Chains A and B, each alone.
Chain A
Amino acid sequence: EVQLVESGGGLVQPGGSLRLSCAASGFTLSSYDMHWVRQGIGKGLEWVSAIGLAGDTYYPGSVKGRFTISREDAKNSLYLQMNSLRVGDTAVYYCARLGGGAAPGNAFDVWGQGTMVTVSS
């Protein structure tokens, strides 16, 4: 079964750091572009970061310079290092696969259940 499972969420103070993990099963993570998407409380979905097949990375202006996406092929896992966290970063964070090949293309076809990050003093 194709599955993504996030972990690492929790409570952190403003200015603090947190590292999220996303374990993939049922497919090889390095064969797909992988993304992080978040949803703030009472808010909509917001794209947070992406890592391409070649390890190229992309971020929106709201997190650029503070967040770093990476992957570890040997562990079939994706990570999001979040530094200088702000109250506004409070959200459920989802990892998502960008489909391709035999899977639906250019869309997020597999999602994890999410992990909650709360930034508060």
Chain B
Amino acid sequence: QSALTQPASVSGSPGQSITISCIGTSSDVGGYNYVSWYQHHPGKAPKLMIYEVINRPSGVSNRFSGSKSGNTASLTISGLQAEDEADYYCSSYTSSSTWVFGGGTRLTVL
């Protein structure tokens, strides 16, 4: 199972919006609504930001939103804040009853 494809890095200024893509196949992202997104600060535990493509866990800012079209899922962060600077990973369930992560995207807030 190959890793999902994410851009290595994205950047934006405070207040702007950015979108991170996550490209899979019909055997994972395209085949199931079990796409999730995680924020990871180095040295800390990853934090769930979006689950089942579009849903936000309690306590996660509504500046974070998720979507999916075909085999590509996306995470959008609006009103960028300095605290959003982190690594972001997508994940999906697969047709092999396994799970797969994306390669990760480093978000820099300029």
Q: Which of chain B's residues have a CB closer than 8 A to the CB of A105?
A: 51-52
A14 interface residue, CB < 8 Å from B?
no
B98 interface residue, CB < 8 Å from A?
yes
B103 interface residue, CB < 8 Å from A?
yes
- Specify which of B40, B44, B51, B100 is in contact with A106 (CB 8 Å cutoff): B51
Most buried by B among A50, A111, A112, A114: A111
**Does the CB pair A109–B48 fall under 8 Å?**
yes
B97 to nearest A CB, angstroms?
6
Q: Which of chain A's residues have a CB closer than 8 A to the CB of B38?
A: 45, 108
Assuming the contacts A107-B36, A113-B45, asked whether A44 and B3 have C-beta atoms less than 8 A apart, the reply is yes
A108 to B57, CA, bound (A): 11
Contact with A along B17-61 (1 / 0, CB 8 A): 000000000000000001010101000111110111001010000
Assuming the contacts A104-B57, A108-B48, asked whether A44 and B98 have C-beta atoms less than 8 A apart, the reply is no
**Does the CB pair A45–B46 fall under 8 Å?**
yes
Q: Which of chain A's residues have a CB closer than 8 A to the CB of B101?
A: 37, 44-47
**Does the CB pair B57–A109 fall under 8 Å?**
yes
Q: Which of chain B's residues have a CB closer than 8 A to the CB of A8?
A: none
A99 interface residue, CB < 8 Å from B?
yes
A94 interface residue, CB < 8 Å from B?
yes
A76 to nearest B CB, angstroms?
19
**Does the CB pair A106–B36 fall under 8 Å?**
yes
Q: Which B residues contact A (CB, under 8 angstroms)?
A: 1, 3, 34, 36, 38, 40, 44-48, 50-52, 55, 57, 87, 89, 91, 93, 97-104
Besides A44-B102, A109-B57, 14 new A-B residue pairs in contact (Cβ under 8 A), listed by A number: A44-B87, A44-B104, A47-B100, A50-B98, A60-B1, A61-B1, A104-B48, A104-B57, A105-B52, A107-B48, A107-B52, A107-B91, A109-B48, A113-B45
